[in-house]
Chains A and B, each alone.
Chain A
Amino acid sequence: KAGVTQTPRYLIKTRGQQVTLSCSPISGHRSVSWYQQTPGQGLQFLFEYFSETQRNKGNFPGRFSGRQFSNSRSEMNVSTLELGDSALYLCASSSLAGAVGEQYFGPGTRLTVT
C-alpha cells in the first residue's frame, strides 16, 4: 500500500505571496490532518478534514485554509505569506476521524519564505 505523499517537497516563496500544498492520503483513508512543524513551536495542529468536511481547526489565522476532495486528497493554502510561515508542513492520514488511532504522516513540504 502506498504511503502518504506530499507535493512539492520543497518550496521557496516571497513574503506576500500565497502557496498551495498538496497531500494524497493512503488509499481508503478519509481523514487528513495538517500540521506545522518549526524549531520554536514544534508540531502544531492546523486542521483536520474528513469526508470533505473540516472537522477541527487549530489556532492559526484565517490565512491558513484547506480543503478536501471527493477522492480524499487534500490541499492547504497559505495566503499573504509571512517570514514566520517558514516551516515543515506535514499531513497525516487515518481511517478514523478525530485524531484517534494510527495516523500515517507524509514526508512533509519544507516551505521557506524570504
Chain B
Amino acid sequence: GESVGLHLPTLSVQEGDNSIINCAYSNSASDYFIWYKQESGKGPQFIIDIRSNMDKRQGQRVTVLLNKTVKHLSLQIAATQPGDSAVYFCAEKGGNEKLTFGTGTRLTIIP
C-alpha cells in the first residue's frame, strides 16, 4: 500500500506528547468501529476496535473513545513515537456488515 490522499487532514505532534485523532461517523445504526493505521508502502493495520455498547476501550498506548450522541470517535495515542507517523483511518460497520472508512488523518511525529 502507498500513502493515500493528497489532501488529508494532518496532525503534527511532538515526539513523546499525546495525540488525539478524531473521526465523525455517518450512520447512527453502526454498531462496530475500528481504527486502522497505514504506513507508506503498506496495507492498513488494525489498531483497536470498539462496539457500540461501550464508550471507551484501551489498548497498548492507545485508547478509543466513542460518543454515540454526536456520532464521534477518537483515537488517543500516548507518548507518541516516530513509528506512529502514518495515516490513520476510522471505519464503521452498519447492519449491512460492510465497513465504511473515513478519509483518514495523516499524523506526523516531530522528533
Contacts and interface: CB of A to CB of B under 8 A. Distances in A.
Q: On chain B, which size bracket covers the interface? A: 20 to 34
Contact of A107 (B4, B34, B43, B49): B43
Interface stretch (A12-20, A77-85, A98-106): A98-106
Interface string A79-114: 000000000101010000111111111111010000
Nearest to A101: B49
Contacts of B89: 42-43
A64 interface: no
20 contacts: A4-B43, A37-B4, A38-B4, A39-B6, A42-B4, A42-B89, A42-B102, A43-B44, A43-B89, A43-B91, A92-B43, A97-B97, A98-B93, A98-B97, A99-B93, A100-B32, A104-B46, A106-B43, A107-B42, A107-B43
B25 interface: no
B101 to A, nearest CB: 4
Interface of A: 4, 33, 37-39, 42-45, 48, 55-56, 58, 88, 90, 92, 97-108, 110
Contacts of B104: 42
Chain A interface helix/strand/loop/mixed:
strand
Given A43-B44, A100-B32, A102-B46, A90 B1 contact: yes
Nearest to A55: B97
Contacts of B6: 39
Contact of B5 (A33, A39, A110): A39
B44 to A, nearest CB: 5
A75 B100 CA distance: 22
B1 A99 contact: no
B103 A42 contact: yes
